[in-house]
């Protein structure tokens, strides 16, 4: 009977460890899903200044948007945000391709741009950071 108790104890402990690992991954995935959804909403309905809060602080310090880039964002209305599923490219990194629909508020000309995003998970902060900066809305299709 003692031997069966040890086997049962090991099995229960293994199951608990697996559940903890699953909860940790689920939590990280949930944070990613929430971050991507909130970034999309912020880019579409918020301001470019608010969208900058998703960019990794080091990236933002090294490559801050220029005043011209920020002015260009104020000249367009984002009309669509069609994302592909995020694809893991490492333990703490995903990539996502997004087609962003734009309308120039002055000319009413519509177009779209492709934004290739890289997101990195910060273990210490328990959050995802955008590593590729704001989308390049000057590209032509």
The top-level CATH class assigned to 27-130 is alpha beta
Q: What mean pLDDT value characterizes the chain?
A: 86
- Domain positions in the chain: 27-130
The rounded distance, in Å, linking the Cα atoms of 99 and 9 is: 51
pLDDT tens for 11-69 read 434 444 444 444 455 589 999 999 999 999 999 999 999 999 999 999 999 999 999 99
pLDDT tens for 87-124 read 999 999 999 999 999 999 999 999 999 999 999 999 99
For residue 96, CA distances in Å to 4, 10, 17, 85, 122 come to 49, 40, 31, 6, 17
Predicted TM-score (pTM) above 0.85? no
Q: What is the pLDDT of residue 72?
A: 95
Task: Pinpoint the alpha helices (H) of 1-141.
Answer: 2-45, 48-51, 57-62, 67-74
């Amino acid at each position: 009977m003692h031997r069966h108790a040890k086997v049962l104890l090991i099995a229960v402990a293994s199951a608990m460890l697996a559940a903890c690992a699953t909860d940790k991954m689920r939590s990280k995935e949930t944070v990613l899903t929430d971050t991507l959804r909130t970034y999309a909403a912020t880019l579409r309905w918020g301001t470019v200044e608010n969208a900058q809060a998703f960019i990794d602080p080091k990236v933002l310090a090294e490559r801050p948007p220029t005043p011209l880039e920020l002015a260009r964002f104020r000249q367009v209305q984002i009309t669509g945000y069609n994302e592909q599923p995020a694809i893991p490219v490492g333990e703490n990194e995903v990539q996502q391709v997004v087609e962003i629909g734009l309308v120039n508020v002055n000319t009413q000309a519509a177009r779209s741009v492709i934004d290739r995003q890289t997101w990195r998970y910060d273990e210490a902060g328990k959050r995802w950071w955008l590593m590729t900066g704001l989308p390049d809305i000057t590209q032509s299709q």
